[in-house]
Amino acid sequence: ELAILKLLRDSPGAKTIYVAPLKALARERLQDWNRKFGTQGGAGRKTPGLGLRILELTGDVTPSMEELNRSDILIVTPEKWDSISRGWQKRGYVQKVQLVIIDEIHLLGVDRGPVLEVLVSRMRFISTQTASPIRFVGLSTALANPRDLADWLGIGDVGVYNFRSSVRPVPLTSHIQGYPGKNYCPRMATMNKPCYAAILEHSPTKPALIFVSSRRQTRLTALDLIAYCASDDNPKQFLHMPEEEIEAIAATLQDRALRDTIVFGVALHHAGLHAHDRKTVEELFFQGKLQVLVCTSTLAWGVNLPCHLVIVKGTEYFDAKQCKYVDMPVTDVLQMMGRAGRP
């Protein structure tokens, strides 16, 4: 945000692109920056800010050429900006970009890495052709070689900031507990009772996130947690709102499994949810009305939700290409752990 403000001060009329790895993260940035910098939709009124025009440019949203030319900040996904910037000679708004912010830049090391490499190389080439300098800002929470990456981006030592984990506002404490078992599904089932016990011990009244590897596991884990609550004669101990209100909300949801679990204060979150269901779950969890959210790893990269306890239930997932269960990337596990301690 400070880099954006500096660009506005030094180069009025220049554009900023923010490269987000997920559409969920792009939507979150759009809402946040509309409140701070631009025009917030809905009420149709100007918020106290700079009056900037902020647009989302993803596979779901494609603004008109007029809107793109008038925009100040573009929030894009790597693949979308890669396809657009290929025709930069015919697109004036691409040539006006002077600030590129890449979030989760450590994704250079995974399958989508080549797209980011091409994107950065092309923007540097455009800079040489237009004689207009472009500033690159890379953000990462899990980067082993920041110096090498800075050299590739053309950033000197003075521009590299490497913050240690000790600077976190809330200290992060981690605990690892192993469970034996050759078969994946039975092993996941044995973890449900310890998950329930961990919530009661470490986060009896505060929000808790449970990360699982599949949509099916979100449903099975949530149902088991509810069963354990019922066995303790307190089936709705994770619900912090009137029963009549949550039942009315549940009636509007489309996902059947979510309707069954949310009335007990345990919700599901995965990429297969309808947009209305997903937004409802996020709002209720953000407000503290639902205490437990069972989700897939996509939430680790997306919406920033307040959370006191994070449980990573298994570090394997099924890779359809290899037809077997493989270990999650270390960056994914660190992202999940980083959700804990959020205000």
Asked if residue 58 lies in contact with residue 76, where contact means CB atoms within 8 angstroms, the answer is yes
Give the pLDDT score at 241. 92
Residue 343 located in a structural domain: no
Number of CB atoms found within 10 A of residue 74's CB: 23
Confidence category of residue 164, pLDDT binned at 50, 70, 90: confident
Residue 245 located in a structural domain: yes
pLDDT tens digit sequence for 58-101: 877 777 888 888 888 999 988 888 888 888 888 888 888 899 99
Q: Is 229 helix (H, G, I), strand (E, B) or coil?
A: helix
Mark whether 205 and 271 lie in a shared domain: yes
DSSP-derived secondary structure letter, 291: -
Strand bridging mode 45-46 / 39-40: antiparallel
Mark whether 300 and 328 lie in a shared domain: yes
Asked if residue 139 lies in contact with residue 101, where contact means CB atoms within 8 angstroms, the answer is yes
Tokens of 285: 């969890």
Give the pLDDT score at 47. 43
Predicted structure pTM score: 0.76
Residue 107 located in a structural domain: yes
Tokens of 153: 């981006």
Alpha carbon separation from 222 to 261, 276, 307 (Å, rounded): 7, 20, 17
Boundary of a domain, candidates 127, 162, 197: 162
CATH of the domain at 102: 3.40.50.300
Boundary of a domain, candidates 162, 179, 212: 162
pLDDT tens digit sequence for 296-308: 877 766 667 888 8
Boundary of a domain, candidates 146, 162, 178: 162
pLDDT tens digit sequence for 188-239: 888 999 999 999 999 888 999 999 988 999 999 999 999 999 998 888 899 9
The boundaries of the domain holding residue 259 are 169-337
Alpha carbon separation from 313 to 187, 195, 205, 331 (Å, rounded): 10, 8, 20, 16
Residue 102 located in a structural domain: yes
Rg (CA), the chain: 22
Q: Is 54 helix (H, G, I), strand (E, B) or coil?
A: strand
Mark whether 138 and 233 lie in a shared domain: no
Mark whether 33 and 98 lie in a shared domain: yes
Mark whether 327 and 269 lie in a shared domain: yes
Distance CA 219, CA 233 (A): 21
Asked if residue 219 lies in contact with residue 231, where contact means CB atoms within 8 angstroms, the answer is no
Helix axes 192-202, 215-231, angle to 10 degrees: 60
Mark whether 139 and 186 lie in a shared domain: no
pLDDT tens digit sequence for 244-263: 999 999 999 999 999 999 99
